[in-house]
Amino acid sequence: MTEHDGRFIVELKTAKALAEEPVAQVLGYLKSARLEHGLLINFGSYKFEMRKFAWSQDGTCRKSKPTFL
């Protein structure tokens, strides 16, 4: 895989609120798939919620604050 191949992980949830488990799940998927970018989308909240993640091979992770639409 190249750094700019355009692939990313999308995890869909239907929960009233997102706990830490879905976040850990997305980060685990990114690490095991050796991908850098992921989205966690929740359709179960009163508002559509989306979080973005960026994982680097050196083990650092950037997480966005939740975005509500």
Identify whether the C-beta of residue 55 lies closer than 8 Å to the C-beta of residue 61: yes
Identify whether the C-beta of residue 23 lies closer than 8 Å to the C-beta of residue 40: yes
Q: Could you give the CA distance from residue 44 to residue 23 in angstroms, rounded to a whole number?
A: 16
E-state strands within 14-55: 37-42, 49-55
Q: Could you give the CA distance from residue 26 to residue 43 in angstroms, rounded to a whole number?
A: 16
Tell me the domain boundaries of the chain: 27-49+56-60
pLDDT in tens, 42-66: 999 888 899 998 877 776 666 666 6
CB 15: neighbour CB atoms within 10 A?
13
pLDDT in tens, 5-33: 788 999 999 999 888 899 999 999 998 99
